[in-house]
Structure formats: structure tokens, C-alpha cells
Chain A
Amino acid sequence: MVNVEEIRDYAASLLEKEEVKAVLGFRRGSASAFAEPCTITDAGEAASLVWDPTCLNNLALYLVKDRKQQAAAKTPDNRPVGIVAKGCDSRAVGVLLQENFFKREDVVVIGVSCEGTGVVDANKLSDKLKGRTASLITFSGAGDINVSVYGDETETAIPAREILADRCLECRAAAPALHDVVFGDTVEARDFNEPFHAAKEAESVSEDERWATWEHHFDRCLRCFACRAVCPMCYCPECVVDSTTFVVTLGTSAEEKANRIRWCERSANTSESAVYHLTRAIHLAGRCIDCGECERVCPVNIPLRLLNTKLEKEAFEMFEYQAGHDIEQASLLSSFRDEDPNSFIR
């Protein structure tokens, strides 16, 4: 069992010794039974840190945000930042390091092992409760997750594997490989689902059925861009398929502004949303570390993770590549091998 006191003490000592300017972690929020992200800058605040299967967010997003802020600041504060990271989150840090977004010494990874469980999937929970709200979610350490429903006095025990996120059921690296410290037991193998189980299942139906499914989902997309906004790998200042991020500076000519190609219209209709999601998925190939944030934040529950894991499956099957597992490795799309059988490489 992870002892949350150890995480708090470690975070507090990092801040006391001024080894970091801030620690990114989780705290209880007012909005829901799920934990919310927090940034603590004072050792005294470390007592508010929590750790349990409701800590869903991938906080690596805020490392990206901080780097961007410092780059734009007149007097940048480039001191290191500490981050509480699950296995998947630490791989996000890994990809950002591979892509030279920041340096290893800029970040202190406070790894936390998911210890053979993982995090709760809000959609699976919603299915169990038929849309009602959970007011309290606790994990006993055994096989069940206890859920109290708002407006209901009773507490229900739900077998963990029924409401854990698909990525957790498929995870083979629950303990962060990239870390400065790890809390919790480093349980590696779990006997839930095989890797890429959900993607394989989605692939098993006919092409027509798959298209019908995705047409249904793209048609429902609101283009709120939450999936892009929450993704730590989507750090481009200007997104090719998100017209809301058009970067204009004093130096942008009138011609550039007038002639800017809109690869994807603002309209949220099936074809434009398909272009948006598929382009985004392609841009994440070999980079997606399967934190599932895109799928979690989607207000209409489009199963976006499937698009990304499908591509990660290809990367693994063709190149034995796993994003963020080894920071010494060159990233998939910026490297080639001499022995590559395809002629275009030569």
C-alpha cells in the first residue's frame, strides 16, 4: 500500500530544501469525488496531497504549461518542478524528455506505483450508476472499490476490474520506470487484460461496423477541444486542426492571415470532426503514452483512447516501440534504421 504520508513528507522536504519551486500533485476538490490537480509551493501545503484510484489526471500537462509560461516570461523562473506521477504519467515525462521539451534536471519525478490496481474510469462508473453521481470513492486495498452514490445512503462495493480504466487493465508498467523516487510496491505484471486488449476487440468487427461506430462518435463531438487541451503531447502553440489556436504576432502579415489554410472548419459536423480526431491521432503515433486523458475529459464520452492505442499497437508490432519507456531511445518518427526494408528510406 502506498502510504500517502510518505508522499507528503517527500514533497514537503523538496520544497523545504528548495530543490523544486513547486510540486504538482492531487488534492480533494469541491467539484466531485475524484481528486483534482494542485500545485503546491509551500511545504505546509503538502498535507493536502492525496493518493488513491481517483487521482486520474496526467499532471505532466502542467510541466508543459510551466515551460511555456517561463519561455514567455520577462524574468523566467526555470527552477525544477516536482511531479507526482503514475506509471503512465512518468512515460509522458519520458516522451517530453526525448523530444527535448525540457531537461532531466528540470523535473523531479515522485513516482507512485498503482500496485496492481489503477484508476477508476468515470464512464464505467457512470454506466454502473446510470448517470448518477458518486459522492465518495474509496479503495480498500483488496479487490473492491467502494462507491457512495449522491442522494443515497448506502455504499456499494464494485469489483475493481469492473470500473478500472481500460488502460489500467492492460497496463504492464504500473510502477514508473522514470523516477527520482517511487512509493508503493513495484508490482509489474497484472492479470487483468493483455496489452492492447480493447484495441484488438474494436478491430475484430467488420470495417463497415467500425465506420458506423466512429461516424456515430464523430457526429457527437462538440469540438470543445478538451482532448487536445488536456494532452501533454499536444504542446504545439498552433494546432493544425484547431482553428482556435491561430498564432498571430505583430510580425504576421495581412497576407498570411488572409491565406491561412483551414485544414479543418470550425463546424462540428461528422466530416470535420473526423478530420480533427484522425489528424490528432496520427500526430500522436509513437508519442501517445496511454494516459487516457483525452477519453476521460470528453464530455460526450467518445472512446478516443482506442484511436491512439490502435496506433501504438502498430508501433509496437512493427518497430517494437513503446512511447516513453526508454528516454535514451530516439523517438519513433525521428529515427530510422539502415536495415529498414522499405526503399524510400535509402
Chain B
Amino acid sequence: MEKILSQEKLREWVDMLDDCEVYAPAFADSVWNHAKIEAGVNIDLSHTNTIGSVKEFVFPQREVFFRFEKKDGVPVLTPTLPDPKPTVVFGVRPCDGRGMPRNDTVFNKEFEDPYYWARRDKLTLVGLACNQPHSPNCFCQSVGGSPHSEDGLDILMTDLGDRYHVKGVTAKGVEAMERGRDAFDTVCDGDQTEVEKIHEASRSHPQRPLGNLDAIPEAIRESFDSPLWADMAQHCIGCGICTFLCPTCHCFDINDEVTSPTTGEGERVRTWDNCQFPDFTMHTSGHNPRADLGSRLRQRVSHKFLYFVENHKTQQCTGCGRCITECPVGIDIVAVLERVSQ
């Protein structure tokens, strides 16, 4: 389904999704991030990319697995499978959209993660094509994506200046569009040509090249013991920014959080974890196989461009550039791959 939506009718469409939680980018605290859209709030799709990726909607930083307590000396477990309202996210950039099928694979391949899927099944992603890259660190095309990729999105919107071209990509997307029926206009031939022109132009902007993607896994494999890693991680501070903001990083930790030691009440929770933290690979013996930051940088890059390719035949990176832009010390995954490939 393809439709035209004038700028001023966007709000009308959103209002018709009244049984859903609607999120859209908002600029607050000096940064774009997802914000819940309440009735009457203006939606501003002039955003660059949000600091947090859409993975937060399916893989929240804190997920309660179950609650536990002791009743008459017997442990009692209460399930806490999430049952969220249908959620629609507007303004999703195609790189984030492409992250989603990668996450789906991880949370489905060997084990279907019920917590992930309870949220995923209720989530509709409304993408917005990037008419031009919003950061010099964008490299979606270098990892097989495109600024108007539909991969992982339920709807793709393209900004035509005074109106949007809106394309329903999945059944979920078409359903969301049907709910806003009266807000939409039909597409005429001229619109179609304009969309194609804009998409073509969006692909013509130079992006940072990665060279031959197929050669990267071998280059990484060969450089496993290279001193390059320590050199490139020389100024790494070992924080979690690169992985926490990444649309495809999905490592987690599981802890029991006891709220009352007397009644044994508490929750088992899953929280984001991070290969850059020292305890990530810490063995109980005290031995840490990845004791230094060089080996942790190698792990992050290898997971995305070697192990994931071996396991799932695609890169675990969609070129959003967050890990580059937000790194406090300028560690740049494109430059890292370039040096490893040399």
C-alpha cells in the first residue's frame, strides 16, 4: 500500500492510533531521543538519528523475568511476561530498521525469547528515509543497506517537502495505515517519480567506504594476535557507550535483585551487558581471558564483522555510526576495519 500524507495530517493519523503507545523523536537535553507522544503534542521529524536505538523497545535495558518470595518456607515464583500495549515508533531511520531483523535472529534462532517476542509482536516501526546522511559517520551503504532501506520496517515514509510518501511494507504496517485512512491521499504518477528521484539522490551522497565486505572476516581472523588492537584501543576508557547505543548489540546479564532479605522477596532481572566491561569475561578463578581493552575492542569488531557473518551470513552492523560519534575518545570502527584490512 502506498499513500500520500500531507505534513499537517501526520498528527491526524497519529491521533487515530489512539489504542497504541506512540513514540517519535524529540529534541530534549541537547539530544534527539524517542519520546512518548501524548495527545496534542507536535511531532517533529526533522531529527538526525536518536541517541538510543529502537532495540530499546524490544530489549529494554531492564527486563524482569519473574518475581520470587518465600511463603511458609517455600519459594514462590510469579511470572512477569510483559504484555505491552501495541506500540508504534515514528521516525525510525533505515539503519535502525535493519538492526531489527538481526536482533530477531538472535532472539529466535536457538531459543525463542518470550520476553523479546512479547514486545516485538506488538511493535510497529514507521521508518523515515534519510534524504541525505545526517552525520559524516553514516555508512549504511557500506554495509549493504541504503538510506531508504525497508528492511525491518513496517512502513517507510519519504519526506517530499510539504508531504510524505508513505509505503506499507508489512501487514502490520498496512494495518496501521488503514487505521488512518482518511488522513491519506492517493499517490499520483508525479509523486512516484519524485520519490524515486529523492531515493536516488539520497544514495549518491558519499559515505565512508569499507571496501570489500567479503574480505573483512578473513582480515580480522588473520589479525587476531596483531598488536594493532592494543594500539587502536590505547585511549579506550572501557565504558559502555558503543555497545549500549548500538542497534544490534544484545549481550545481557542476569541478576537476582533481592528487595527484602527477611521475606526473600525480589526479582530476577535481565540487564544490558557489555563486552567492554572488565567483568564481562571474568572467570570465577580470577582469570580474565580478555583482560585488556585491545582484546575487548577486537571482540566487539569481530562479533560484528566475523562471528556474526559466520553464524548468520550478514554483518551485525548497519552503519548508523553511533559508536563512532559518541565515543568519548574518537575510536572509529570504520577506521579500525580499514587498518585491520590493510
Instruction: Assess the A246–B279 pair: CB atoms within 8 A.
Output: yes
Q: Is residue B257 contacting chain A, with contact meaning CB distance below 8 A?
A: yes
- A245, B279: Cβ atoms closer than 8 Å: yes
Q: Which residue of A133, A224, A249, A297 has the most chain B CB atoms within 10 A of its CB atom? A: A224
Stretch at the interface among B154-162, B190-198, B214-222, B231-239: B231-239
Docked CA distance A245–B277 (Å): 8
A contacts with B: majority SS: loop
The distance in angstroms between the C-alpha atoms of A34 and B136, with both chains bound, is: 13
Chain B at the A interface: SS class: loop
- A133 with B134: CB separation less than 8 A: yes
- Which A residues from 283 to 299 make CB contacts under 8 A with B? 293, 296-297, 299
- Interchain CA distance A150-B332 in the complex, whole Å: 18
- Interface segment out of the listed A25-33, A85-93, A202-210, A274-282: A25-33
Q: In the complex, are the beta carbons of A31 and B331 less than 8 A apart?
A: yes
Q: Looking at the complex, which of B178-186, B280-288, B300-308 is the stretch in contact with chain A?
A: B280-288
Query: What B residues does A249 contact at CB under 8 A?
Result: 286
Residue pair B30, A61 in contact (C-beta under 8 Å): no
A243 to B47, CA, bound (A): 35
Q: Is the beta-carbon distance between A133 and B325 smaller than 8 angstroms?
A: yes
Tell me which of A103-111, A173-181, A263-271, A324-332 binds B: A263-271
Q: Is A62 interfacial (CB 8 A cutoff)?
A: yes
Partner of B285, one of A61, A130, A250: A250
Instruction: Find out whether the CB atom of A225 lies under 8 angstroms from the CB atom of B239.
Output: yes
Contact A62 B235 (CB under 8 A): yes
Given known contacts A62-B235, A131-B48, A224-B241, is B255 in contact with A248 (CB within 8 Å)? no
By the criterion CB–CB under 8 Å, are B330 and A30 in contact? Answer: yes
B279 and A31 contact, CB distance less than 8 A = no
Whether a CB of chain A sits under 8 angstroms from the CB of B245 is yes
- Minimal Cβ-Cβ distance residue in B for A237: B278
CB pair B329 A37 closer than 8 Å: yes
How far is it, in angstroms, between the C-alpha of A251 and the C-alpha of B330 when the chains are bound? Answer: 37
Chain B residues with CB under 8 A of A339:
none
On chain A, the residues within 8 Å of B327 by CB distance are: 31
Answer whether residue A201 sits at the interface, using C-beta atoms and an 8 A cutoff.
no
Q: Which residues of A contact B326 (CB under 8 A)?
A: 299
| B269 part of interface (Cβ distance < 8 Å) | yes
Q: Name the residue on A nearest B259 (C-beta).
A: A265
Q: Mark A13-52, 1 if CB is under 8 A from B, else 0.
A: 0000000000000000111101011110000000000000
Shortest CB-to-CB span from A223 to chain B, Å, is 8
A123, closest chain B residue (CB): B30
Contact with A along B316-342 (1 / 0, CB 8 A): 000000001111111110110000000
A297 and B279 contact, CB distance less than 8 A: no
Residue of B nearest to A245 (CB): B278
A-side contacts of B47, CB under 8 Å: 131
Residues in B with CB closer than 8 Å to A67 are none
B324-A31 in contact (CB<8A): yes
Is the beta-carbon distance between A30 and B29 smaller than 8 angstroms? no
Asked if B30 contacts A30 (CB within 8 A), the reply is no
Residues of B contacting A150 in the complex (Cβ-Cβ under 8 angstroms): 134-136
Least Cβ distance of A218 to chain B in Å? Answer: 13
Contact A300 B31, CB 8 Å, known A150-B136, A246-B279, A265-B257: yes
B61 at the interface (CB under 8 A from A): yes
Q: Is the CB of B31 within 8 A of A301?
A: yes
B33 at the interface (CB under 8 A from A): yes
Q: Is A310 an interface residue (CB 8 A)?
A: no
Q: Known contacts being A31-B332, A226-B237, is A267 close to B271, with CB within 8 Å?
A: yes
Residue ID in chain A nearest B336 by CB atoms: A30
User: B133 contacts the other chain (Cβ, under 8 Å)?
Assistant: yes
CB-CB contacts of A239-269 with B at 8 A, as 1s and 0s?
A: 0000111101111100001000000011111
Q: Which residues of B contact A (CB under 8 A)?
A: 27, 29-33, 46-48, 51-52, 61-62, 132-137, 234-235, 237-241, 244-245, 253, 255, 257, 269, 271-272, 274, 277-280, 282-286, 324-332, 334-335
Q: Show 20 A/B contacts (Cβ-Cβ < 8 Å), sorted by A.
A: A30-B330, A31-B325, A32-B325, A32-B330, A39-B235, A130-B46, A131-B32, A132-B48, A133-B135, A150-B136, A226-B239, A230-B239, A244-B277, A246-B279, A248-B282, A248-B286, A267-B271, A293-B328, A300-B29, A301-B29
